[in-house]
Homo-oligomer: A and B are copies of this chain.
């Protein structure tokens, strides 16, 4: 870490992530009609219910959404904690310098047109920003989507509809697109965020220092990162090692192919690195490497919802023999086992199962998609008694209830017993202390089956609200649990 970072206090970071007074430079007055990033961001902040005071700035002045637009940053009558800068690239240095002189703790620069262009002018402008930042204002960007902090209501470009629910996951991303996509994905998957930072070209604040901040951030329990290039490899890996000892760091490294590396250089003007080097170093420091944003989100979900621990032996309750085969294949791939249940448990499960076509070994094939939640609850309670079992997976076949709904002439969301199932599963977890993971599979997603899609979205919320993580596919769930296992197994070995 460089000296300046040490000089940035947690209070400074608090002013950045939770500003009381926020300047937005580059907001057009209503009559002007121009709809730049600054205006968009002001609208988004209003939609999010941002809780601080907002001071829009534009040399032309005017009024926007009932707020006076100040002509210069210097004209703002109050102290400013944080500034959002969305003016043309060549005007950025002057605005940033004004913010710095005013004692602003930090600024995010949404504008593009810097080193990513590869032009001398772009690089020169970026160097100017770097120089101003070094004098004491922390900069996120340029060429970024900014900061999302549900606690304060700060949001990413163009996100007026992100969740205001705070949670344990932080996400750092060079790519703005990845940041906003992940924030949206998290919203329906049940991942709540402490802070998301899209840092773009990363002229000042970037991976290493943000990681250090998050390592000690009480609000953050799990960290995700989308990394293309890194600035200082040694410092980054030291930092990720330090952080990984405290909390899981999940890393998606884009641009590990040769062609990808070429892209990385043009996209964020930073260096890539080879596949093997990244794999071995991330493993060494006990960071979790994932291949894409989906796998990252699934891993984050598992880390959020599962207790800290290793879950090697699992039971799987579902419908259809092939699901059992799939489960066994996935478990072996991700270093888990689906042990045969002990004989007495098998017998007791057998008594609960519908006949014929069901199977009481593990995986347990309930054969019939309409097995009542109270019966499923009993089955999972019994299987949890087997001492071998660390964690249980239930593959819910709720989509089948459309057939029943049609017979009854009712909407499927009224017929499918997802709330009862969610309550039952929550009770089993509470009683047995063994986590349950839910798979909400759905092969029906067409125009005729949007009622099923809706029902499953409602069902997902009920499960999540009761602390039960939900995945779309069994393979993905087992992969995510595998990441949790690998992280805690390595950490425990190390600490022994």
A260 cross-chain contacts in B, Cβ below 8 A = 325-326, 328-329, 332
A446 beta carbon closer than 8 Å to chain B: yes
Closest to A177 in B: B320
**A328-B441 Cα distance, complex, nearest whole Å:** 30
**A185-B472 Cα distance, complex, nearest whole Å:** 14
A356 beta carbon closer than 8 Å to chain B: yes
A258 beta carbon closer than 8 Å to chain B: yes
Our pick among B184, B329, B333, B450 for the contact of A444 (Cβ within 8 Å) is B184
Cβ contact within 8 Å between A475 and B361: no
A473 beta carbon closer than 8 Å to chain B: yes
A82 beta carbon closer than 8 Å to chain B: no
Cβ contact within 8 Å between B160 and A332: no
Q: In this complex, which of A188, A262, A321, A475 has the most chain B Cβ atoms within 10 angstroms of its Cβ?
A: A321
Q: In this complex, which of A187, A326, A403 has the most chain B Cβ atoms within 10 angstroms of its Cβ?
A: A326
A400 cross-chain contacts in B, Cβ below 8 A = 158
**This chain: copies in complex:** 2
Known: A325-B264, A328-B260. A450 touches B443 (CB 8 A): no
Cβ contact within 8 Å between A160 and B457: no
Contacting residues of chain A (416-458) with chain B, CB-CB under 8 angstroms: 441, 443-450, 453-454, 457-458
Cβ contact within 8 Å between B322 and A175: yes
Stretch touching chain B among A25-33, A249-257, A380-388: A249-257
Cβ contact within 8 Å between A457 and B461: no
A215 beta carbon closer than 8 Å to chain B: no
A167 beta carbon closer than 8 Å to chain B: no
A103 beta carbon closer than 8 Å to chain B: no
1/0 contact string of A338-370 vs chain B (CB within 8 Å): 100000000000000000110101010000000
Closest to A89 in B: B356
**A113-B264 Cα distance, complex, nearest whole Å:** 58
Our pick among B267, B406, B450 for the contact of A324 (Cβ within 8 Å) is B267
Cβ contact within 8 Å between B322 and A262: no
Cβ contact within 8 Å between B332 and A257: yes
Our pick among B176, B268, B319, B322 for the contact of A267 (Cβ within 8 Å) is B322
Cβ contact within 8 Å between B454 and A259: no
Cβ contact within 8 Å between A160 and B446: no
Closest to A175 in B: B322
- Min Cβ gap A422→B in Å is 15
Closest to A446 in B: B188
Cβ contact within 8 Å between B188 and A267: no
Our pick among B113, B185, B254 for the contact of A322 (Cβ within 8 Å) is B254
A331 beta carbon closer than 8 Å to chain B: yes
- Min Cβ gap A272→B in Å is 9
- Min Cβ gap A300→B in Å is 14
Residue pairs across A and B with Cβ atoms less than 8 A apart, 15 shown, are A112-B357, A117-B356, A174-B322, A177-B321, A178-B320, A182-B443, A188-B447, A228-B322, A254-B326, A255-B328, A255-B329, A259-B337, A263-B328, A450-B450, A450-B453
Counting from the closest, the 10 A-B pairs by CB-CB distance are A188-B446, A177-B320, A175-B322, A257-B332, A267-B321, A259-B328, A260-B328, A184-B443, A254-B325, A181-B443
Known contacts A177-B323, A257-B329, A447-B458; 5 further A-B pairs (Cβ under 8 A): A116-B321, A117-B356, A188-B444, A188-B445, A257-B333
